[in-house]
Amino acid sequence: SSPAPTPGPGSSRRDSWMERGSRSLPDSGRTSPCPRDGEWFIKMLRAEVEKLEHWCQQMEREAEDYELPEEILEKIRSAVGSTQLLLSQKVQQFFRLCQQSMDPTAFPVPTFQDLAGFWDLLQLSIEDVTLKFLELQQLKANSWKLLEPKEEKKVPPPIPKKPPAPPARHTLVGFLPS
C-alpha cells in the first residue's frame, strides 16, 4: 500500500471552496425530487476533484523523487498545469452554478438541463487531462522512457485495376441461318 498523499499545491484551494460549499449546502431535510440536482452534481464533482488532485500529487512526487528527462518533466508539468487550470476555473464555475441552483433566492435559478449541459462540457475537459495522466502512467510503467511510436507499415496505395473491357458486341447475324 502506498503512503497517504501529501497535500499538493492545489489542495488548500480545494479545501477553501469545496469545503466551504459543503457547509453552506442547505439542509432542508427533504429528499430532492430530482436525483440529479445541484447536490448530486456537487457529489460527483467532489469525486472528480479528489481523483484529479491525487493524480497531480502523485506525478509531482514522481518528478521530485526521480531524475526524469526534461521531456518527461514537461509532460508532467503540462498534465498538472492543465488540471490545476481546470480546477481553478471551470470546476469552480460549475460548483458555483450548482450552489446557485440550490439557492431559492437566486435569480435566475439554473435548471437541471443547465447543470447537465455544463457537466457534459466539464467531462470533456476532464477526459482531456485524464488522457495526459494515462500517458504518464504508461511512461512510468516503461521506466520513464518515451514510448517509441509504433511504425505503421505504409501500404502503398492500391494500383487501380484496369476498367473491365466493354463487352464485345455480339451480333447474332453470324449465328443465324442464312
Domain extent listing, the chain: 11-25+33-149
Confidence of residue 9 (pLDDT cuts 50, 70, 90): very low
Residue 103 CA to residue 119 CA, distance in Å, equals 19
Q: Give the model's pLDDT for residue 172.
A: 53
Axis crossing angle, helix 92-102 with helix 38-65, rounded to the nearest 10: 160
Residue count (the chain): 178
Q: Which helix (DSSP H) or strand (DSSP E) does residue 47 occupy?
A: helix 38-65
27-62 CB burial, b ≥16 within 10 A, e <16:
eeeeeeeeeeebbbbbebbbebbeebbebbbbbbeb
The answer to whether the predicted template modeling score (pTM) of the entire model surpasses 0.75 is no
pLDDT at 176: 54
- pLDDT, tens digit, for every residue of 102-130? 999 999 999 999 999 999 999 999 999 99
* In the predicted structure, residue 8 carries a pLDDT above the cut 70: no
Question: Tens digits of per-residue pLDDT, 63-103?
Answer: 999 999 999 999 999 999 999 999 999 999 999 999 999 99
Cell 504518464 locates to 136
